[in-house]
Structure 1
Amino acid sequence: MSQNVSQPDEIAPEQKNQVPWKERFSYSLSDFACNLSFQMVGTYLMIFYTDTFGISAAAVGTLFLVARIVDAFDGPFWGIMIDHTHTKWGKSRPYWLWFSIPFAVFCVLVFTTPNLSLTGKLIWAYITYIGVDILYSSVNIPITSILPSLTSNPQERVTLSTIRQFMGTAGATIITGITLGMVAWIGGSTTSKRGWFIWALVVGIIVVILFAIVFKNTHERVQTKSSRKSIPIKESLKALKKNWPWAIIIFINFIYWLGMQTRSQVTVYFFKYNMHNAGLASLVLSLQLVALVAVVLTPLTSKLIGKRNTMLGGMILACVGQLLLDLGASHLSVGMIVFATIVGYLGTGYVSGLIAVMLADAVDYGEWKNGVRAEGIVTSFSSFSAKLGMGIGGAITGAILSSTGYVANHAQSASALHGIEMNYIWVPLLGFALSAIALLFYHVDGIEKKMQSDLAAKHARENAEAE
């Protein structure tokens, strides 16, 4: 199914290459499914390992660093595989059919607690954690790599990414908000081995069903000369040559997720030990719903002031939220912490959805600048950079907790409480601030119209030659 990118001039630009609502919603379920499973891993796996499975914080930190560095390289691998894939279903879409079940299986295994020695537990944790990360890439990278193939309309891409981010945030909010309660309801406590296993199994089944819907209802309609054939690795790498928009977004993806990982991993610790009320963690995590306000406003905001400025404003809001968190933590003020969290989520709501859109723009920029359209390799580095950032963030979390004297399920010393605050407030703040600085060097918005016009003409020529 090919898309004619050179439609008649009488059609308004914003109406060209629009995607039907059924397909928009189905596409958004991909991120909903990913966040249901992977947010559960990202938010709760560390405290599951330390307080349920019985692995020390230092060992978990090392595990997260080693595992993430190892599996970070699977991102380019999956990108190359996508660029080499040519099926009746397209290039990106079949990966949801092939790998959703293996991914769901490992999401369950990572929360399974076999009766093993400490060494055996570590081996089990390494195998299952690396496995879930690698398989996550197999279903997550296609979500971004398929976006340039769903439509060539820049504003429609923002719309698609906004709906996707809305559902992704909803999935993250649901899973982080109800997981502790569901584990306790199933197993009798938040440290129940049985509770974690059964709840992970339920989530895994839901994830498989959702990906089946995504596969059935999405279509790769933008067909170019490159998309109709397998691209050699050497050729696909040319798309990255002097692709500065890509380099900037990849850096932002790295440092942003480093900060987000440290914060999410210690959220439960912060409320359990610093605020002496673990139940508040679920309330604060459920405030991610606030991000949906920013997500809904993203298409309008980016249309008015540009994608770069919209994301920059989000980063600044996220920084302000972290500074307000410090004020709330120093006074043990629940009200201030809630307010600070709302401000921060408003900021990150503008950020997350636009990363995928800007990567899609980088695909176009690589083709415009270098003549090579390689959706897989260009977008796959988002997984590499995010995982590397999250791995280093996990290592930082473990190192800080260990060096400041954290002891699982005990009252914490003043230094340990300070270590938890460092992870929850200051490391994320640094990540957001560096991301904001990097955005000052991003200048694609100013050349987007010419780039899209040139590419539309190029695709029209190629499609005419292919007929």
Structure 2
Amino acid sequence: MTASVAERPAEPVDVKETAQMPLYRKVTYSFTDLSGNLLYCIIASYALYYFTEVYGLTMAAAGTILLVARVIDALDAPVWGFIIDHTRSRWGQSRPWFLWMALPFSFFVWLLFTTPPLDGTAKVVYAAVVYILAGIAYTGMSTPITSVLPNLTSNLQERTVANSFRMVGGNVGNFLAVTFILPLVTLLGGSPTSQTGWSLAVGIFAFVALVLLLVAFATMREQNVERTTPIPVRSSLRAARGNWPWVLLVVANVIFWVGLTARTSTLPYFFQYNQGSTGQIALFNGVSIVQVAGMAAVPLLVKRLGKSGSTILGFALAALGQVGIALFAGDPALLMTSWILACLGSGTACALFFAMVADTVDFGEWRNGVRASGFLTAIGSSFCIKMGAGIGAFLPSLIMEAAGYVADQPQTASALAAIQFSFAWLPAIVFALGILPMLAYRRFERNEPVVLAELAERAAHQEVR
């Protein structure tokens, strides 16, 4: 479904909306990330838990599947980027993929949490194949969420605001997924490890995600499509040449998702075994909705600190909160306070990456004359999420396996220590490392007004010709 699929001209665009996005479109734009996180956050937070406690794989097998599948899966990000860069349809360039991928994405995620009557090698192969297919479908749906942003408006502030709406929507999806999936599984299946409960619960979430994606598609409109004509693969790659702000964001974003996934994937183990309360899994996941406060504050923070400075602040708060979790695990009040701080920090950092990646599309066009929004944003968003998530899930599984973790059994002291390290200290270390590339990014951010001014001047000269 690339350029050859639909060569009809794009729908006419209201020139008045090129700078100012209507409020309702910002809201429905947020539905894209809401639906994506409604399902993807179940994978990120519970895939390791589901594979070991429900599906019946060993920790080593589950961790290996998550790593290998994510590495393979991450390679499809640039492919999706090339596809989007070559897409031409009556609906625009990125927008039609919300329509085309809504059903495959919802279906494969449901299939991932549906246990077939298999044993041995066949069971492992099924888990790996469906996990990869769900990931590929997610990339096909999520890559346009970021690649469409520079084509929704040319106004940097409007992009930041629209991206904040998107991130709030994504966090609502995350909240609904991680807070209610286990209670819904228990309600429908009788226990949090019920195979039937998981299939039914994820099926309900998948249907809601499908509807939200279709609504987002129906209300969205793209601008600047005339500046994103089909380009060869080699030209797309050229857009990354010398695009150092993009490189720095890719590194920082991978680091962020390593830390976040290490935290989310080990949360169920920490509260089930270290704290002895599965009820706190839903409670602490639910409290993570405070990330919305960090995301909503982004436009105000950016005005004072800039995007890079706000991201650095987010990383620092997230790392500090994780240290508090490690130090105050025995004090419920301080543990919750530390968790809130960590969530505020991660929410702030996460919200800014996607807006900054959209800005690097402008930098690539300014420096190399190529506007490869699909390729650059695919690597800067979907690739980073998947590569970071794969590493972030594999590292805890490796640590816990080496410490002697055994599913659904009383854990040894070494296994409990490994779980706490993976949940608290490992993310703290990783988040702290994420500050380094953002420090280097600051000088490129200061040059953004010059980049936009020169691009506008070039566009004016082309119109005169």
- The equivalent residue for 1:358 is 356
Equivalent position SS for 1:240: coil
Residue identity opposite 2:460 in structure 1? A
TM-score normalised according to structure 2 size: 0.95
- The equivalent residue for 1:74 is 76
Structure 1 unmatched ranges of 5 or more: 8-14
Select which of 372, 375, 380 maps to 2:373: 375
Select which of 109, 114, 117 maps to 1:115: 117
Aligned 1:17-416 pairs, distance under 5 A: 17-225=19-227, 227=228, 229-329=229-329, 332-381=330-379, 382-416=381-415
Maintained 8 Å contact 2:13/2:221: no
After superposition, the Cα gap between the structure-2 partners of 1:403 and 1:130, relative to the gap in structure 1 and judged at 3 Å, is: same
After superposition, the Cα gap between the structure-2 partners of 1:287 and 1:96, relative to the gap in structure 1 and judged at 3 Å, is: same
After superposition, the Cα gap between the structure-2 partners of 1:255 and 1:281, relative to the gap in structure 1 and judged at 3 Å, is: same
After superposition, the Cα gap between the structure-2 partners of 1:214 and 1:16, relative to the gap in structure 1 and judged at 3 Å, is: closer
Distance 1:463 1:44 in 2: 52
- The equivalent residue for 2:8 is none
Distance 2:463 2:118 in 1: 59
Distance 2:378 2:322 in 1: 30
Residue identity opposite 1:255 in structure 2? I
- The equivalent residue for 1:429 is 428
Q: CA deviation at 1:328?
A: 1.4
Distance 1:462 1:224 in 2: 12
Deviates more, 1:453-462 or 1:430-439: 453-462
Deviates more, 1:64-73 or 1:379-388: 379-388
Equivalent position SS for 1:405: coil
Distance 1:98 1:42 in 2: 23
Q: CA deviation at 1:464?
A: 4.8
Q: CA deviation at 1:2?
A: 4.8
Equivalent position SS for 2:206: helix
- The equivalent residue for 1:10 is none
Q: CA deviation at 1:396?
A: 1.0
Equivalent position SS for 2:328: helix
Q: CA deviation at 1:223?
A: 3.2
Q: CA deviation at 1:462?
A: 3.2
Maintained 8 Å contact 2:236/2:370: yes
Deviates more, 1:126-135 or 1:420-429: 420-429
Q: CA deviation at 1:365?
A: 0.6
Q: CA deviation at 1:3?
A: 7.0
Equivalent position SS for 1:165: helix
How many residue pairs were aligned?
A: 452
Maintained 8 Å contact 1:312/1:436: yes
Equivalent position SS for 2:39: helix
TM-score normalised according to structure 1 size: 0.95
Distance 1:20 1:212 in 2: 19
Distance 1:453 1:274 in 2: 55
Distance 2:344 2:393 in 1: 24
Maintained 8 Å contact 1:404/1:419: yes
Equivalent position SS for 1:151: coil
Q: CA deviation at 1:262?
A: 1.1
Maintained 8 Å contact 1:99/1:138: yes
Maintained 8 Å contact 1:315/1:347: yes
Equivalent position SS for 1:203: helix
Distance 1:460 1:410 in 2: 68
Maintained 8 Å contact 2:363/2:451: yes
Maintained 8 Å contact 2:77/2:143: yes
Maintained 8 Å contact 1:85/1:91: yes
Maintained 8 Å contact 2:45/2:264: yes
Residue identity opposite 2:231 in structure 1? I
Structure 2 unmatched ranges of 5 or more: 1-11
Equivalent position SS for 2:174: helix
Equivalent position SS for 1:242: coil
Equivalent position SS for 1:190: coil
Equivalent position SS for 2:446: helix
Residue identity opposite 2:450 in structure 1? K
- The equivalent residue for 2:3 is none
Q: CA deviation at 1:297?
A: 1.1
- The equivalent residue for 1:12 is none
Distance 1:317 1:154 in 2: 26
- C-alpha deviations, 1:144-201, integer Å up to 9, x for none? 0000000010000000000111111111011111111000000000000110000111
